[in-house]
Amino acid sequence: MRIQKRYQVPFPPETVYAAWVSSDTVIPPATAMDIDPVIGGRYVLIMKSPEFEARNEGTFIAVEPGKHIRYTWEWNGDGEVSEIDVRFLPAADGATVELEHSGFTRAESLETHDNGWDSYVAGLTRFIGEKLQN
């Protein structure tokens, strides 16, 4: 099972890519990121609140700076290791982000992540806009 999404973002592909792979890009509900965006590099995404704590980890499989990344994704040690493939393409008004998230073994997981991607890209767009204004 897989998710395929396409987003229009009003920033150049290089800017969107740089934010996507930066440890400084913390989009709620995440509270911390640690990213090493090189082939074989790891990342850790942490969500921590009084009510909830989760951790996501993975490894970069492909890295083409400014254009493309592919990495594994395991949510909170649940044993379901999926793969995310993201392309950052030039568009007339910014960038087109093409995302494929594959390897789901549970329909519930696919649905949760499908909604999560929409929320993440909206948060990323806000984050970049705020960063560029400062």
- 121-133 per-position pLDDT tens digit: 999 999 999 988 8
Q: Compute the chain's Rg from CA coordinates.
A: 14
Which of 44, 42, 46 shows the shortest CA–CA distance to 61?
Answer: 42
Residue 113 has pLDDT above 90, yes or no: yes
Q: Do residues 10 and 93 make contact, with C-beta atoms less than 8 angstroms apart?
A: yes
Look over the chain and give the mean of its residue pLDDT values, rounded to a whole number: 95
User: Which two structure tokens, joined as six digits, stand for 33?
Assistant: 């990121």
For the chain, how many residues are written?
134
- 75-89 per-position pLDDT tens digit: 888 999 999 999 999
- 28-82 per-position pLDDT tens digit: 889 999 999 999 999 999 999 898 899 999 999 999 999 999 999 998 889 999 9
pLDDT confidence of 1, banded at 50, 70, 90? Answer: very high
